[in-house]
Amino acid sequence: MTPDRLLDRIRVANPVPVVETGDADLWARIVASPGDPRLLAGEARRPARRRRWLRIGSGLAAAALVVGTAGATVGVLNIGLFSHASPRTLFGADLQGQMGGARWRQNVVAGSVHRAETLTVPGVGKYQLWIANSIQHGDCEAIRLPDGAWAATSDDKYGFSGPVPGCLPWPCKGAMSNCAMGPGLVGGFFYSIGVLFVPRPDEWRIVYGITASRGRAVAVRDLSTGRTTPVFEGHYFAMVLPIKKYVSPTAPHSGYYPFVRLEALDAAGAVIAKAPPDPGM
């Protein structure tokens, strides 16, 4: 028996396979305790382009998250620690809530965490949309990159510029007329845009989120590209949109990107919701 076959024999005999596990309660208990004091002051910020899409936080997007408990700073949380966390751990950490302050905090319903959609970006790979509900009736969303890392938790070679994954309060979900407390619907939509800055010259957007209106939406269409995608699980949608950058022949550095122009369609094809044009960059 050669040494390699010997190791293989031991590997095969492994009595306890590793099971990917996430324990939101454990995580919550740990981060509620004081963190490493040496890290309180020394984290680098994320690149600016990643911050742009933290539209809910008004400049709160940073790689270093100060974890506050009852107003007291107890430690620093590095988003990068979650780049390969299990989906339950990721949502359980409530990264968005920790950035937004106490009123944004959400507790994920562990049993609701699931992969909702897989999106193929030509020439790049497959991106997964994971979603969940929170006990506060909020929504949790995260994009998993082709290499298995979570979008916006670490740098990836395609420069995905999506929002930090996590859960958001959504009071409109329970009462459509009450959107004052959180990131409510705008034009019947609440969505995020992630941009893949490479490979150039073809760039791509991944647009995903929620549509809700008085009618029942069955599809979402982007008027800029003409692409349509079905609505799933009642109100979610996710689509890959090519970006055709417009460049003026006389001013090659003055190019701009087309806006995202979403509208929701009902089963009869009627437009029942229309989001305002979004520059999406």
Site membership for another protein, residue 81 (CB under 8 A): yes
d(CA 7, CA 277): 59
Question: Among residues 19, 175, 180, 251, which is the contact residue for another protein, using CB under 8 A?
Answer: 19
d(CA 259, CA 195): 13
Site membership for another protein, residue 34 (CB under 8 A): yes
Nearer to another protein, 2 or 254 (CB): 2
Question: Among residues 27, 91, 190, 237, which is the contact residue for another protein, using CB under 8 A?
Answer: 27
Nearer to another protein, 82 or 190 (CB): 82
Write down the least CB distance from residue 133 to another protein, Å: 21
Bridge partner list, 65: 77
201 preceded by cis ω (within 30°)?
yes
Phi, psi (degrees; rounded to nearest 5) at 262: -95, 145
User: What letters, b where the CB count within 10 A reaches 16 and e where it falls short, cover 78-100?
Assistant: ebbebbbbbbbbbbbbbbbbbbb
Write down the least CB distance from residue 26 to another protein, Å: 6
Task: Give 1's contacts (C-beta < 8 A, 6+ positions apart).
Answer: 9
d(CA 220, CA 218): 7
Nearer to another protein, 84 or 227 (CB): 84
Site membership for another protein, residue 41 (CB under 8 A): no
Site membership for another protein, residue 72 (CB under 8 A): no
Site membership for another protein, residue 3 (CB under 8 A): yes
The residues of the shown chain that bind another protein, judged by CB under 8 A, are 1, 3, 6-7, 9-11, 13-23, 26-27, 30-31, 33-36, 38-39, 75-76, 78, 80-86, 89, 93
